[in-house]
Structures are given as structure tokens and as C-alpha cells.
Structure 1
Amino acid sequence: MSQIFISLFPLLALILGGYLLHHKKILADGFWSGAEKLNYYILFPAMLFSQLATANIDFALVQSLMLVLGLVFGIACIALYLIRALYHTPSARFGVYMQSVVRFNTYIALAVVAALFQQPGMTILAICLAMSIPAVNIVSVVALTDPEQMSFIAIFKALIKNPLILSCLIGALFNASGLSLWVGLNHLLHQLAICSLPLGLLCVGAALQFDQFKAALWPLFINTFARLLIMPALAWLVCIYVFDVSLLVMQVVVIFFALPTASAAYILTKVLNGDSQLMAAVISLQTLCVAFTLPLVIWWVI
């Protein structure tokens, strides 16, 4: 357990550091806005492209991950839509609940998997991200949009403009082409990737808004419990009893589903007129609680 804490300590310290730097006004608000854009449009896509373009991808592994991820996400979405039908939840709130359960914080994912499993784990995670990022973006937009206002063309345009989706697609195509990256470009991408993780974790901390906890405590705790404990348990059951994947794949997938929801969920919720206050509270509570739940999940699967 002590080794797990040592592995997680740097990322928890960076998140706390981002929170203190922002809320103590040590850095101007404009810095955080610029840092988020830099990471979202340049640094993080460079990391995703590099991981996928240079990975030794086993297509049997891709197929296994597609089945596991599809089943876990499918069960979660069906359960949420059944609950919506039962309680007649409006789109503004249902979109928050959906994102709370299916979205994931990629910065924390990469930091944890890199610390625990190095390159073999990072390859598995990169494939998970490449398949999950487009899927959860589609599901999130649909959940936040009233059926009568839904436009598939608008959703498609939003997806093809997403830098994370584009970097995954281009990286996968480059890998399939059989070409190799020029050494100088590979080193540049490596340096950009190194910058992405600590900056991303600082931005995660800066985005925390604990003053929003008054926004509906019961939904907050239900969503946090579902995301941080039920989802990894479901992933473990699917990996062990349905598809019987390798130990490393099971470990990475379970940890992937034990992550808090994405900070970017707040922006999407606000743009699509969802309950952004509730979304901010969910993001903050999940990010706070993951410091306690993630070590337990890691201890469980390792």
C-alpha cells in the first residue's frame, strides 16, 4: 500500500498545488485559461499522437479492449437511461449524470498508469483513450440535448473539430501506415508529452470549486459512488468473468474506470445549457474523493 501511495503522491501534490496557486491568486486567472488551451490543443494531442503512432499495437488486444469498453459503457448508459425514464430527469441534469459516470480525467489516467505500469500499460491506455474519447463525447452531447433540438450534423462537426479525437485518429492511421517518425520529431513529441501531464494536473486542481457542494448533496454522492467504485467493480467483473483478458489489461481497464470525471465536462455542460453548477460540484467532489478510492482500487487489482 505504501508503494501505491508513493506512486500517487506526485499527481495528488500537483492537483493540490494547482488548487492553492489558483485560489490564493498567486497566478492570474488568465494564466489558467491559457494553460488549459495550450494543453488541450497542443501538448495533450501531441502525447496521444505519439503514444498511438509509435505503439506496437496488437489487433487482438484492440478487439478485446473494444468488447470490454463497449460492454461496460453500454451497461452504464442503459442503466442511466432507465433511471431517467423512471424519474423523468430533464436533459440539463441528465447530461450531468451521464458525464459524471462515463467521462474520465485523462491527465490523472496517464499519470497513474505511467507511474504503475510504464510503457506496456501506457500502450493499453492509449488504445482505451482512442476508442473512448469519441464515444463519451457523443454520449455526453446527446444526453445534454433535448431530443427535439438534436442535430446529428452539429454533433459530427463538433467531434471532427475535437483535437483529442483528431490526434487519436491521425496517430492510429500513422501507426497502420507502417511509417516511422523522424527521430527529431519523436524527441519533440516526447518533450511536449512530458510538459502535458504536470500542467494538466495543475489545471485540474485550479478548476476545483468546492463552494458548489450545496447544489444537491444526494445526487453528488450517488454519482461519486457510481463513478469511483461501481464502475471499476463492473469493469473487473467484465474483464474476469466475461472476456477473461490478461492481468495487465484488467489492471489498466479497472483503473481507467476508477478515475474521476473530466474537468472539461463543465465547459460542455455550460455551452449546452446544462446544470453547470451541479457539474462543477460533481467534478470537484470526485476529484477530492479519488485520493481515497483510487489507492483502494489499485491495491485491489495489483
Structure 2
Amino acid sequence: MSAFLTALVPVILIVTLGQLLARRGLVPGEAFRALDRLSFLVLLPALIIRALANADFDGAPWVMIAALMAAQIVMGGFGLTARLWPGMSAPGVGTIIQSNVRWNTIIGLSLGGLLFGDEGLALVSLAAAAMIPVANVISVYALVSHAERPPGEKPRPLLALTRNPLIYACLIGIALASFHVRLPPIADETLKMLANAAIALGLLSAGAGVDLGALKRAGLRTFTWSFVRLIGLPAATLVIGLAIGLSGLPLAIALICAATPTAPNSYVLARELGGDTTLAANFIAAQTLLAALTLPLTWGVILWLGAV
């Protein structure tokens, strides 16, 4: 557990620093939005390409990918039960489904790298290659189908995925590894320098994006569904993974990825596609804070299973 806390505490501290910088106005909001754009277009793709390119795909854990994708589908379907919640609006249902299937890639990469080095980074990147498309397709369809005022032209999620640089980074990295193409030393070092900036800046931006005021507006619905997401997705991953033979480090990485809070960009998508933006903001704030409690529980399960 000490190794996990050594990895988790720096993540919490950097997220907290990002919140303090934003609240004190030391770094303007426009700067964080620019950092988000830089990370999305350059830094995260560099990290993913390098991690995947240096991975060994001859023994790739495809069972891990299957377990994570199946768990997302299960949790997306479970989100439909939110219709039974008293007073739940249709946009609220779509927002809950989105929360159930999205995950914080930055936190997953940070913990995977700090705990397991390059192998951990490669496995988290492989998980991202599978989970990001699934999360986007389910989220877009859920939000659009439950929006009270859907846009005149419904977005096409598959088309949106073709414009996502993270998807291209995953494809490039997997292709390089599959064909055993080694990165030239200069290219590898360049990508390494960019990758080193990705996680720190991403965590700072994630902290800045947490609306603590949202917690004051949050009620039983927010905290109930936050716990459903933080416990349900790793639980579904565990059950499905064990059923299909997932074990060892891939099982540990799958559980860590599933146990991260929902992604900060879920607010933007909810706003654009007619979701419940207040609920989306509440989920981001509540899950980011609650994950500090549930992530150690997930690590305890990993140790109990002897996965690492």
C-alpha cells in the first residue's frame, strides 16, 4: 500500500495545486484552456505514441481490452436505471450514462507510470486506445437521445472519433509496435520530453477545472451516482476480467483505469449535446475528491488478488 500512496499522493498534490492556482487567479482560466488544447493536440499524443511504440505487442493483453470495453457497456446500460430516480430529467439520465463510461486518462497514466514504469504506461495507453472510442460513442448517443432540445443536426460520434488526435496517436503507436519499428533515438528523446510535460500539466489543468462550488449544489443524487461510477466500473471490470481469464499486471492496470474519476471534458460534451450541465459539473467535482478514498480501496483489492 505504501507504494500506491507514494504514487497517489503526488497526483492529489498536483491536482490541489492546480485548484489553488486557479482560485487565486495566479494563472488565468484562458491559460489553463490553452494548456488543455496543447495537451490534447501534442503532449498526450506524444506520450501515447512513445509508450505504445516501445511496448511488446506479441503478448498484448487483449483480454484486458475486452474486459474494460465490456465493463463500459455494462455501466452505460446500468445508467438507464437512473430513469427510476424520482424527479430525474431525461438530460440527467444521459449525463449519468456519460459519467458511468468516461474515465480520467491523465490520472490513469500518472498512476500506471509511477507504479509500474514504462510497462505501466504502455498498458494504460493500450487501455486508452480501447476505452476512449467506446466512451465517446456511448456518451454522444446517450446525451443526444436524452436531450430535451437536441441540436438541429445530430453529431456523428464515429466522425468525431476520426478527428480525435488521441485516437491517431493510439493507432500510430500500435502500428509501430506491431511491425517492430524502433523509434530513432532523436525521435524517442523528443517524444519523451513532450511526454514528461503531459502528465504534470494535465493534472494541474484537471485541478483547475474542478468547481468546488458545485459540491455545495450537489445532493444525494450526485454522491449516489458518483459512488456507483467509482465502485461499479472497477467491480464490473473485475468480474468480467476474472471470468475471461484476466490476471497479473494487466488486471491491476485495468482496475486502476476503471477506478479513476470521470473525465473533466464530460462537462463540455454535456453542454454541447443537451445534457444536464449542473449535474455534469457536480460529478466532476465529487468524483475527483471521492476517488482519493476509492482508489486506495481498489489498490487493496489488487493486492488481495495478488495481481502485482
Do the structures match in fold with TM over 0.5? yes
Q: What is the aligned partner in structure 2 of residue 208 from structure 1? A: 210
Q: What percentage of residue pairs aligned between the two structures are identical?
A: 30
CA contact (8 A) 1:18 1:201 kept: yes
Q: 1:165 and 1:90, CA in 2 relative to 1: closer, same or farther beyond 3 A?
A: farther
**Aligned residue pairs, count:** 300
1:5-58 alpha-carbon deviations (Å, 9 max, x no partner): 222111111000000000011112221111111111110111111112221113
Q: What is the aligned partner in structure 2 of residue 285 from structure 1? A: 286
Q: What is the aligned partner in structure 2 of residue 57 from structure 1? A: 57
After superposition, residues 27-42 of structure 1 pair within 5 angstroms as 27-42=27-42
Q: 1:138 and 1:150, CA in 2 relative to 1: closer, same or farther beyond 3 A?
A: farther
CA contact (8 A) 2:35 2:201 kept: yes
How many Å apart are 1:281 and its aligned residue? 1.0
Q: 1:173 and 1:153, CA in 2 relative to 1: closer, same or farther beyond 3 A?
A: farther
How many Å apart are 1:215 and its aligned residue? 4.0
The partner residue of 2:230 within 228, 231, 239 is 228
One-letter code of the match for 2:5? F
Whole-angstrom distance in 2 between the partners of 1:176 and 1:237: 29
Q: What is the aligned partner in structure 1 of residue 119 from structure 2? A: 120
One-letter code of the match for 2:177? N
Q: What is the aligned partner in structure 2 of residue 244 from structure 1? A: 245
Could you tell which deviates more after superposition, 106-115 or 165-174?
Answer: 165-174
Whole-angstrom distance in 2 between the partners of 1:91 and 1:56: 45
Whole-angstrom distance in 1 between the partners of 2:159 and 2:153: 10
Q: 1:122 and 1:280, CA in 2 relative to 1: closer, same or farther beyond 3 A?
A: same
Could you tell which deviates more after superposition, 140-149 or 177-186?
Answer: 140-149
1:116-143 alpha-carbon deviations (Å, 9 max, x no partner): 1222222221111101111111111001
How many Å apart are 1:81 and its aligned residue? 2.7
CA contact (8 A) 1:52 1:123 kept: yes
Q: 1:88 and 1:178, CA in 2 relative to 1: closer, same or farther beyond 3 A?
A: farther
The partner residue of 1:156 within 150, 155, 158 is 158
Whole-angstrom distance in 1 between the partners of 2:235 and 2:168: 31
After superposition, residues 34-113 of structure 1 pair within 5 angstroms as 34-58=34-58, 61-62=61-62, 64-84=63-83, 90-113=89-112
Q: 1:176 and 1:200, CA in 2 relative to 1: closer, same or farther beyond 3 A?
A: same
Whole-angstrom distance in 2 between the partners of 1:23 and 1:197: 21
Whole-angstrom distance in 2 between the partners of 1:225 and 1:256: 16
Whole-angstrom distance in 1 between the partners of 2:200 and 2:211: 20
Could you tell which deviates more after superposition, 277-286 or 68-77?
Answer: 68-77
Q: What is the aligned partner in structure 2 of residue 274 from structure 1? A: 275
Q: 1:58 and 1:65, CA in 2 relative to 1: closer, same or farther beyond 3 A?
A: farther
How many Å apart are 1:83 and its aligned residue? 4.3
SS in 2 for 1:50: helix
SS in 1 for 2:288: helix
Whole-angstrom distance in 2 between the partners of 1:161 and 1:192: 21
What TM-score do the two structures reach when normalised by structure 2? Answer: 0.90
**Is 1:136–2:128 an aligned residue pair?**
no
CA contact (8 A) 1:215 1:278 kept: no
One-letter code of the match for 1:19? Q
Whole-angstrom distance in 1 between the partners of 2:274 and 2:73: 25
> Structure 2 unaligned runs (5+)?
304-308
One-letter code of the match for 1:211? G
1:146-198 alpha-carbon deviations (Å, 9 max, x no partner): 37879787322211111111211222223333322221011100110000000
One-letter code of the match for 2:116? F
Q: 1:152 and 1:49, CA in 2 relative to 1: closer, same or farther beyond 3 A?
A: farther
Q: 1:248 and 1:78, CA in 2 relative to 1: closer, same or farther beyond 3 A?
A: same
CA contact (8 A) 1:15 1:205 kept: yes
Could you tell which deviates more after superposition, 30-39 or 53-62?
Answer: 53-62
CA contact (8 A) 1:18 1:205 kept: yes
Whole-angstrom distance in 1 between the partners of 2:39 and 2:168: 15
How many Å apart are 1:222 and its aligned residue? 1.6
> Structure 1 unaligned runs (5+)?
none
What RMSD in Å do the two structures reach over aligned CA positions?
A: 2.2
Q: 1:179 and 1:150, CA in 2 relative to 1: closer, same or farther beyond 3 A?
A: farther
Whole-angstrom distance in 2 between the partners of 1:292 and 1:276: 25
**Is 1:264–2:287 an aligned residue pair?**
no
